[in-house]
């Protein structure tokens, strides 16, 4: 079965920059991304019946579509609260960035092969 090699963004909301940095390092170590952008935002939401406004951080993770589930699992391992993890389609990407992504991010097939040898 062919894995989904499309370039995508995974958009994740977090409480702090420190959580974002911890998640970014974990994803890079697991070869699930080559780059994570962290953006401070203000979020207004309903929680336990109350409207709340507070600062948050968005992690914009550049990856391949085949890695969404592994990234969502890493987010669950990193933060103990309910947050948003969503995939955004990228319709085009420049060749230089795609080449960098390919050189850093593992493919599921090669990961399975390496794990079988361990």
C-alpha 95/C-alpha 82 separation (Å) is: 36
Domain boundaries, the chain: 7-117
Block residue for tokens 């699930």: 32
* HSE-CB for 58 with a 13 A CA cutoff: 11
Does position 65 have pLDDT exceeding 50, yes or no?
Answer: yes
What would the pLDDT profile of 73-92 be if each residue is shown by its tens digit?
Answer: 999 999 988 789 999 999 99
Q: How high is the pLDDT of residue 1?
A: 45
* HSE-CB for 56 with a 13 A CA cutoff: 17
Q: How high is the pLDDT of residue 118?
A: 44
CATH 3.30.70.120 fits 7-117, yes or no: yes
Q: How high is the pLDDT of residue 112?
A: 44
Contact 40, 78 (CB under 8 A): no
Q: Note the pTM of the prediction, 2 decimals.
A: 0.85
C-alpha 114/C-alpha 98 separation (Å) is: 23
What would the pLDDT profile of 28-63 be if each residue is shown by its tens digit?
Answer: 999 999 999 999 999 999 989 999 999 999 999 999
Does position 66 have pLDDT exceeding 90, yes or no?
Answer: yes
**Cross-strand partners of 87:** 10
């Amino acid at each position: 079965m062919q894995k989904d090699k499309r370039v995508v963004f995974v958009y994740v909301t977090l409480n702090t920059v420190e959580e974002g940095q911890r998640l970014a390092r974990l994803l890079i170590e697991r070869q699930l991304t080559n780059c994570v952008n962290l953006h401070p935002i203000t979020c207004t939401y309903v929680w336990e019946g109350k409207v709340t406004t507070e600062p948050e951080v968005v992690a914009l993770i550049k990856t391949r579509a085949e890695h969404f589930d592994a990234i969502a699992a890493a987010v669950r391992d990193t933060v103990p609260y309910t947050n948003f993890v969503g995939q955004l389609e990228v319709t085009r990407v420049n060749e230089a960035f795609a080449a960098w992504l390919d050189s850093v991010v593992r493919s599921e097939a090669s990961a399975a092969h390496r794990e079988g040898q361990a």
